[in-house]
Structure 1
Amino acid sequence: MRIATWNVNSVRSRMPRLLPWLDQRKPDVVCLQETKLDNDSFTELLADELAGRGYEFAHHGEGRWNGVALVSRAGLDDVVLGLPGEPGFPDPEARAVSATCDGLRVTSVYVPNGRTPDDPHYQYKLTWLGALREAAAGDAERAVICGDMNIAPTDADVWDPAVFVDSTHVTPPERAALAELTKLGLHDVVRDRWPDERVFSYWDYRAGRFHQDLGMRIDLILAAEPVAGRVAAAWIDRQARKGTAPSDHAPVIVDLDEAPDGNIGPMVPPPSNPKRRPGHPT
């Protein structure tokens, strides 16, 4: 089974890239974030295209902002929109959708950004992550949580930690909230597979940061121990971040049991002109 997660930063804008990517990579389950569509618009735009490729889908959207989806050709049962008891800002937002896909309880999440540590959105982020942990705890043996976590787990997951001092995504409370998920037995499968590699999934559009590989790893796949033990390959599809009108995120791909493209990570293709931060080994 191939599982992927991708913050597309607007499905409508990314249509010319999303459909060819599905045809090329042939994922069995795809978690999408930041769809920026309501449910009717998502259905109108994609239902026929996805059905023609053998996919079912579940979408949780609110129109202009946020929006998450699960796209699967490995079953899509017991769909749940949102999280039980989730907080709002001020009302609950379209940030999570879960379903059972071939026995796995897959959740696509778009974690709140947090904005700045002194903004009310930051506390909302921490509270929302607590609700995610509570939801995941009930299915911890088969859980696969995929998405834009808006947290870099360690300093190794940002291109230069000094740039992010006093910013969100790297603060101890955010990282502690993320660690609470791993304490359930969930594995960060990309980092497990590539413990010492420079691996990013997001690059700001500005200042040529993608071409210099000045990025962050904030898009994660967290998998229960039985699932993590099946991982044959785990990698960032950096090709999808190249070219015309890309998302600022690249897909994360994990292959279970078999690796159709071989062990080709951690980022494919590797950056051609990366800048290195001082003291970084690679």
Structure 2
Amino acid sequence: MKIATFNVNGINGRLQVLLRWLAQAQPDVVCLQELKASDDKFPQGALEKAGYGAIWQGQKSWNGVAILARGAAPLETRRGLPGDPDDSHSRYIEAAIDGILIGCLYMPNGNPAPGPKFDYKLKWFERLIAHAGELQAAKLPAVLVGDYNVMPADIDVYKPERWVDDALFRPEVRDAFHRLVALGWTDALRRLHPTERIYTFWDYFRNAFARDAGLRIDHFLLSGALARRLTAGGVDRAVRGWEKTSDHAPAWIEIGDQTSRRAPPAKKGLTSKRRIPR
């Protein structure tokens, strides 16, 4: 199973980019973030025509998450992260697909920090940690996928010294990410590529993509049962160079069947097996 994540930065404005990438990369499951569309504006018909069933939680102008499944309908298991019934942000949706539980998330940005937005981010992170602990306790084959808005280590940011006070890199946020992983989750891309600079986001400003001034903020965390089946992963970074594209590139992993016991050794190269032309 090929599982991908893509912060589309507005699904309707980037729909042609999304459809082009889906046709070429053919992922089995896709987690989308930043739909920036209300539920009734979600392009369900266009995605069904492309071969994907979908569930989604929209929000007008902001946030929004969705899970797509190729040739299937995702079985929704949760809508919204537990722990705060008054939270109105559309940031988490969960589904079962072919025996794997897929949690699609869009972590709050948190800037400016310190401040109320940063406090909300930290509280949301604690709710995610609590839910992730329950999933681990249930010993489910699960993956928590999406835009975490955190660079876990210096290697995940092009110039760490410039980000020390940013909400995506502050020690409180990195500590929360490491506490989440310590529950038994595997950071899939870092497991496969332990020493490489892997970026999934390049700002629109200051020619960031051309300079490769990027960040790794889109992650796949695998439960213990699923980590043993990890076989490959990378970033379709060429998509970031397409016209009218998102400031994120799609990232992906591949999960083998249940006979797979161990992730392969680290491999070089972060482009999709299916070549994505500019």
What is the TM-score of this pair, normalised by structure 1?
A: 0.87
- Alpha-carbon RMSD across the aligned residues, in angstroms, is 1.7
The answer to whether residue 117 in structure 2 is matched with residue 121 in structure 1 is yes
Q: In structure 1, how many angstroms separate the alpha carbons of the residues matched to 2:89 and 2:98? A: 27
**Who is 1:266 aligned against?**
270
Structure 1 counterpart of 2:77, one-letter code: V
Q: CA deviation at 1:72?
A: 1.1
**Who is 1:82 aligned against?**
80
How do residues 208-227 of structure 1 correspond to structure 2 at under 5 angstroms? 208-227=207-226
Secondary structure in 1 matching 2:226: helix
Structure 1 counterpart of 2:33, one-letter code: Q
**Who is 1:50 aligned against?**
47
Structure 2 counterpart of 1:71, one-letter code: L
Structure 2 counterpart of 1:13, one-letter code: G
Q: CA deviation at 1:13?
A: 1.1
Q: CA deviation at 1:79?
A: 3.0
How do residues 184-263 of structure 1 correspond to structure 2 at under 5 angstroms? 184-257=183-256
Q: In structure 1, how many angstroms separate the alpha carbons of the residues matched to 2:25 and 2:272? A: 12
Secondary structure in 2 matching 1:40: helix
Q: 2:131 aligns with which of 131, 135, 141?
A: 135
Q: CA deviation at 1:255?
A: 1.0
Q: 1:67 aligns with which of 53, 60, 64?
A: 64
Q: In structure 1, how many angstroms separate the alpha carbons of the residues matched to 2:243 and 2:53? A: 28
Work out whether residues 114 and 124 of structure 1, in 8 Å CA contact, stay in contact via their aligned partners in 2: yes
Q: CA deviation at 1:61?
A: 1.1
Q: CA deviation at 1:92?
A: 2.5
Q: CA deviation at 1:223?
A: 0.8
Work out whether residues 14 and 247 of structure 1, in 8 Å CA contact, stay in contact via their aligned partners in 2: yes
Work out whether residues 80 and 91 of structure 2, in 8 Å CA contact, stay in contact via their aligned partners in 1: yes
Secondary structure in 1 matching 2:12: helix
Work out whether residues 186 and 223 of structure 1, in 8 Å CA contact, stay in contact via their aligned partners in 2: yes
Structure 2 counterpart of 1:85, one-letter code: G
Secondary structure in 2 matching 1:197: coil
Structure 2 counterpart of 1:113, one-letter code: N
How many residues of Structure 1 are paired with residues of Structure 2 in the alignment? 260
Q: CA deviation at 1:256?
A: 1.3
Secondary structure in 1 matching 2:165: coil
Q: In structure 2, how many angstroms separate the alpha carbons of the residues matched to 1:87 and 1:201? A: 32
**Who is 1:12 aligned against?**
12
Q: In structure 2, how many angstroms separate the alpha carbons of the residues matched to 1:86 and 1:202? A: 29
Work out whether residues 201 and 236 of structure 1, in 8 Å CA contact, stay in contact via their aligned partners in 2: yes
Q: CA deviation at 1:148?
A: 0.6
Distance 1:236 1:134, change over 3 A: same
Q: In structure 2, how many angstroms separate the alpha carbons of the residues matched to 1:65 and 1:198? A: 30
Secondary structure in 1 matching 2:14: helix
Secondary structure in 2 matching 1:70: strand
Distance 1:187 1:67, change over 3 A: same
**Who is 1:103 aligned against?**
99
Secondary structure in 2 matching 1:150: coil
Q: In structure 1, how many angstroms separate the alpha carbons of the residues matched to 2:129 and 2:142? A: 11
Structure 2 counterpart of 1:120, one-letter code: P
Structure 2 counterpart of 1:83, one-letter code: L
Q: What CA deviation, in whole Å up to 9, does each residue of 1:49-74 have, x standing for no partner?
A: 22233322111111110000011135
Q: What are the ranges of 5 or more consecutive residues in structure 1 without an aligned counterpart?
A: 270-282
Secondary structure in 2 matching 1:207: coil
Q: What CA deviation, in whole Å up to 9, does each residue of 1:85-140 have, x standing for no partner?
A: 2376xx42000000111111111111000102211111110110111122222222
Q: What are the ranges of 5 or more consecutive residues in structure 2 without an aligned counterpart?
A: 258-266, 274-278
Q: In structure 1, how many angstroms separate the alpha carbons of the residues matched to 2:10 and 2:63? A: 9
Work out whether residues 109 and 146 of structure 1, in 8 Å CA contact, stay in contact via their aligned partners in 2: yes
Moved more, 175-184 or 27-36: 175-184
What is the TM-score of this pair, normalised by structure 2?
A: 0.89
